[in-house]
Structures are given as structure tokens and as C-alpha cells.
Structure 1
Amino acid sequence: MGLSIGRCLSPKRLTGKTAVITGGNSGIGKETAKDFYLRGCNVIIACRVPLRAQEAIDDIKRQCLRRRKVGTLDHVQMDLKSLSSIRRCAMLLQQKPKINLLVNNAGIMACPFSKTSDGFEIQWGVNYLGHFFFTLLLLPKLIESRPVRIINLGSIAHLYGNLDFTDLNWEKRKYSSTKAYAQSKLCMILFTRELAKRLYYKNIHGINVYAVHPGVVKTNLYRFIEDNISVLLSRFTSRGIFMTTPEEGAQTTIYCAVEEDLQNETGFYYADCKRHWAAGKATHRGDAERLWIESLKYCKLENYDPFKIT
């Protein structure tokens, strides 16, 4: 991840495919939705505020007005701060004929301490736990829809994340908004590896799972971190990384969604449109297994089998 920015050069079409993108109304998610739409995909944007999703759809259509062989754009309401909202959305999406791509893109960063409606620290709840819950609820539909790719938005910030299994919800530790963000992204990478592993051991093939670092992208994700941005970005830029545009930031997500060479890879971490190294703590098998078990408890899914094939 140096001074070059990887670009997805694949011309692969997505005609007839259906993609669900969380947070597809702005930033990287919107650029991903636009790219999929131009490839002929039926794109569904999962967004907390339906009006914002519709505005994004209208804007994408205006930008692509003269383009041919485009797909469709639609939206569903989902608030990642609420497990009941996520469940309602998943139930609605389960009625779709198929879902071929799931992009867990939505996120917040380094915001002041608060909790979701279910009592989870806001960044852990939105960035990771909400997506964990959403993915597991959709998994039976995804299994039915194979071949499928799931792309989870991680971050290089996982390097600074640490898991304290006695306090995942930040109820005992002194709160740090940047460390809480880093923990949430570390969890997303561990989740990617564990989901890929469990699919393999369940002998369920045709679902590939990828974690991606989009780069340090100039989006409204940074709106909360005026006090911390100089510290956080100095860590990133010391590694040769600089702020990129949302269109550039979407490239690795798109790459993992369409690159045919990745059809035999799963559970790995990507940046700049290539497979990349991740910190050792992001590849720790024991932590990945324990995080999965703890996440099931937090989401009250202990008795739910997401791998059941109907």
C-alpha cells in the first residue's frame, strides 16, 4: 500500500446478478453501486434513511444517463444501530429470487461514545456486529444463490485494534474513539476468516468472502474526528498512504466482486486490488473462533444455524 492506487481493470459484466450494498448511498458505497449498475447488476442499497438512498439512486442515474446495458437500482431501509431493523431488512431481502453479492460497506468512524438501541458501543455495533448479524441472517439465501461473493470493509486501522474479550462493548475500559474504530475493523477481518473457514468445514462451496482496505478515503466518514484526525492520519501517512477519492477507494471492493482470478480464494485481506498482508492478530484462529461465539451471544443467535441448506 504505497503511493500507487490499484484499479480494477476487469470488464466483467454482472448482468442478471443482484447485489446488496450497505451504506450504498454515499462515499465508497455509492461508487460501488454505480460501478455495479454500469455492469448490468440489479443493485439494492441498504440505507438508514430512504430519502438519502433515493437521492443517491437519482444521482447515479443522472450520471449514467447515456450509458447502455445498465442494471437496476433500488433501496431498502435498514438501521445498523438496531438489530430489529436489520432483521426486518433481512426478512424482506430473503424474498428476493437471489442475492449474488453482499457488500458490507457502511460504517462510522471515531465518533463520540454512544450506544446502539441494543446497548452496543456504537462503532462495534454498527461497523461489525450489525454486519455480522445481517450476514448470518442472509446466509441461507446466499447459499441458495451461489455463486456468491461477500465483501467486508476492513481497514488498515486494524493494525491498532485490540480485542479484550472481557470488555468488547467498552463498558470497563477508558473509551478511545479511534481504538474502538480500530477494534471494529479488526473484528471485520477476523469475521471474514472465520466465516470462510466455517463454510469450508460445512462443505459449502461457491461462497467467497473477502475483507478489503479501501485506502484512506476522503468521505464524510471523517466528520467526527477533528480532534483525532491528525494523530490517526499521521499513522497512516507514515506508511506511505494518502487520502484518495471515493471512486478510487471503491476499486478494491469492485475487484473482489468481479475479478475471476479470485474465484478460488476466500477468507483473505485485500488492498490496492491485490491480496495483502494483515496483522497477526487479524489472522489469529483462536480469536476468530472466540469472536464468532461471543458475537452469536450478543446477537442472541446461539440456537440459529446460518448454514442450513433448505
Structure 2
Amino acid sequence: MQVLGLKRRQLGASSGIGKETARVLASRGARVILACRDRARGVEVENELRAETGSKSIVFMQLDLSSFTSIRQFAGEFLTQEQQLHVLINNAGTINANNYQTTEGYELSFGVNHLGHFLLTNLLMDRLKESTPSRVVNVSSLAYRLGVLNFDNLTQSEGRIKSYTRSKLANILFTRVLAAKLEDTGVTTYVVHPGSVNTGIKRNWSNWLRKMAPAIIPFLKSPLEGAQASIHCAVADETELSNGAYYEVPSKEANSNWLRRGPCSRIVEKEPSNDWN
């Protein structure tokens, strides 16, 4: 796939993996939309990346994934301003350290990491179909292996780790369902694990992890290293990728047969509730 002239929308692009992904895509000639919650930070990153890459095709747009109202407002503005969308990268992620909820009352990690991406992807789907060949890249985590989905409780935290891991499992299942639904439409979808990366998400680490940080951080990937899987799935030729696949390192599809074991085998084909829309 040619990168020059493509338009890319990057969620969670104000720091870490998202910022590095945006930097690389912009340097390759893509038009990049930075979707960030914090307006001041978003404008700062927009100016920084424009200066570094020399590209004027980097645009900040405000988006709060913890609010369905904000998501719908963003989608409306995007569809009015942008006539093409070739790659949607759902990168935003959070760990709910304080039992917070979204504006609509969903547990924060699940609401931001999955439901927000789910809603926005659906709102932008027609534009993706109009811009084919196009693709959706979802950023998950190896932590999905610890996730257990309980569709009867999407409002309360089950602890920061359990809540985070179920949101990451949902990312993968959503990718698989989406790939099946979009077969033969020209829109493909992939999900990636960036690895253990030194990003801003560590601000939500537990106290004991923070104490261990000096010993842990030297072994973490840099944000640029963590962005490689997302970048690969965004720009690689379609012949190099498998629709609906899960990638743990760039260009290498991971074995996700684990999802076919036990209760998860009944969830893989489960279509998310329309109520989430």
C-alpha cells in the first residue's frame, strides 16, 4: 500500500506509542489526524510533530473516549472535514486505578479501551468503506490472556488488572468479529500487542510496581519500538497481513488459538450488543 497521500486517524496520539506512530506516518507523507482528549497537549504535539517532520498535514482534533457525546461530536466533525479515511488506529488505553466510570456509567477501562473504540469505528465505517482499500488497527495487549468477559457487569471495576485485561480481550474479539463482518468490503482489520513499553500508562501502576520501577523500566521497550507493530499493520501490503489476525511483533502473526479454548470459544463469534451504540 502506498503511504503518500493517505489519511490516517490516530487515537490517543498525545504521548507514547500513539505519538510515535503519528510521527512515523507523518514523516512518510501521510495526512495524520491526532485525536486526543487534552486540547492543550494535543495542540502541543501537533506543533511539535509539524516542526520535526516538516509536514503541515498533521491536525489535532479533540476526542474524549470516556464520553459517547464527545465521540459522536468528533465523528461528525471528522466526517464534515475529511473526505477520506484509509487507516483508523485505535490506540488509546487506560488502566482504571480508582474505580472511575465513563460519562454513561461504564467501568472506565472497558469504556475507554473498548466501547469508545467500538462506537467510533462504527460511526466512521461508511467513510472507511468509501476509501477502500482501508483498514482498522486495534492496539490490544498480551494481557488479554488473563481477561474474562462478563457481559452482565460492564459498569463496576473488578480491580485495575482484571478490568484492564478484559478490555484487552474485548479488543481482540472485536477485531475478529469485525473482520468477518467486513469480508469482501475492502476494509480489513488487525489487532496488535505492542510489548511492554515505557509509556504514560505506568502512571496508573500500583504502589508496589512504582517501587519496582527502577528495576523494571530498563527492560521496557521505547515508545518507538512499541509502535512498530501498529505501523507495520498500517502500511504493509495487504498480501503480508491476515485479516482479523493478532500480531505481537511486526510482520509476525501470533498464535491466538488460546481464544478457542474453554468459555472464550463461545465469545469469539459473539457480536457486541447494539446497545453499545
Using the alignment, how far apart are the partners of 2:212 and 2:238 within structure 1? 34
Deviations 1:107-146 (A, max 9, x none): 1124221101100000000000000000001001111111
Check if 1:17 corresponds to 2:3: no
Using the alignment, how far apart are the partners of 2:188 and 2:237 within structure 1? 12
Amino acid at match of 2:181: R
Using the alignment, how far apart are the partners of 1:159 and 1:214 within structure 2? 15
- Aligned twin of 2:253: 275
Offset at residue 72 of structure 1 (A): 1.1
Conserved? CA contact 1:40–1:71, under 8 Å: no
Offset at residue 208 of structure 1 (A): 1.1
Offset at residue 186 of structure 1 (A): 0.3
- Aligned twin of 1:63: 52
Where structure 2 has 5 or more consecutive residues not aligned to the other structure, the ranges are: none
Check if 1:81 corresponds to 2:66: yes
Using the alignment, how far apart are the partners of 1:13 and 1:186 within structure 2? 31
Offset at residue 92 of structure 1 (A): 1.3
Alignment of 1:77-226 (within 5 A): 77-95=62-80, 96-170=82-156, 175-200=158-183, 203-204=184-185, 206-226=186-206
Provide the aligned C-alpha RMSD in A: 2.4
Offset at residue 265 of structure 1 (A): 1.9
Relative contact order (alpha carbons < 8 A, sep ≥ 6): 1 or 2 greater? 1
How many residues align structurally? Answer: 270
4+ residue runs over 6 A deviation: 230-233
Offset at residue 262 of structure 1 (A): 4.3
Offset at residue 216 of structure 1 (A): 0.7
- Where is the helix percentage greater, Structure 1 or Structure 2? 2
Percent identity over the alignment is 35
Q: Identify which of 243, 249, 253 aligns with 1:266.
A: 243
TM-score (norm 1): 0.81
Q: Secondary structure at the match of 1:211?
A: strand
Q: Identify which of 264, 267, 272 aligns with 1:287.
A: 267
Conserved? CA contact 1:158–1:282, under 8 Å: no
Conserved? CA contact 2:12–2:35, under 8 Å: yes
Using the alignment, how far apart are the partners of 1:271 and 1:42 within structure 2? 26
Q: Identify which of 44, 62, 85 aligns with 2:33.
A: 44
Amino acid at match of 1:267: G
